[in-house]
Amino acid sequence: MAALIFSTTLTMQAYRQDFIRFAVAQKVLRFGEFQTKAGRLSPYFFNSGLFQDGAALRDLCLFYAQAILASNVEFDMLFGPAYKGIPLASGTAIALAGQGRNVPYCFNRKEAKDHGEGGMTIGAALQGRVLIIDDVISAGTSVRASIELIRAAGAEPCGVVIALDRMERGQGELSAVQEVQRNYGIPVVSISTLDDLLGYLQGEPEMVQNLQTVQSYRDRYGVKND
């Protein structure tokens, strides 16, 4: 796939559905029947771990950068929670620098290192307003751990950026994304959402069956738009 070049004049809808198209082409977003952690049978599955080469990671992080710049969230640095957040934060820092926004970044270790440089994080020191870069929010466990780590360092978590918001209810009426926003009072920015996926499918006549099943799933398990 050719390198993506973004313009600040791109509409939000354009880059959101471009991302869905990119994920489908990379076979990261698949259609069929998949069981979720909640035990539901989902007609689609998104696995960011399938972005497995340099070109795909480059383009993925360009989408992250575009979503961040379009969100107008004020931040001073990026943080990537181990493990999936490590390449995402690193690559997004590079993509942002290419867009004229050079910011520091860091990521954490799963276990503290007691020799060498030591500590729980690698990269820039956590300070100022910290934007968390992750792939998805499921139960919110990774976000909670990241926020605790950032606050313990005396910094301020200012938001979370994810690739896809499934817009799906958890145990209650709220989605995992909505729960994070409510519990921590910070915005969650997504490159795309389930509604963007439906918009993409509506424009693909050969995917009419997938449109019907995804819409039925949205009707049954989806949350209301904020």
Residues that are catalytic: 113, 115
Residues 6+ apart with CB under 8 A from 72: none
Residues 6+ apart with CB under 8 A from 207: 31, 201
**Cα–Cα distance for residue pair 130/114, rounded to 1 Å:** 25
**Cα–Cα distance for residue pair 181/159, rounded to 1 Å:** 9
**Cα–Cα distance for residue pair 35/57, rounded to 1 Å:** 26
Encoded tokens for 47: 């696995």
Which residues sit opposite 193 in a β-bridge? 165
Contact 74, 189 (CB under 8 A): no
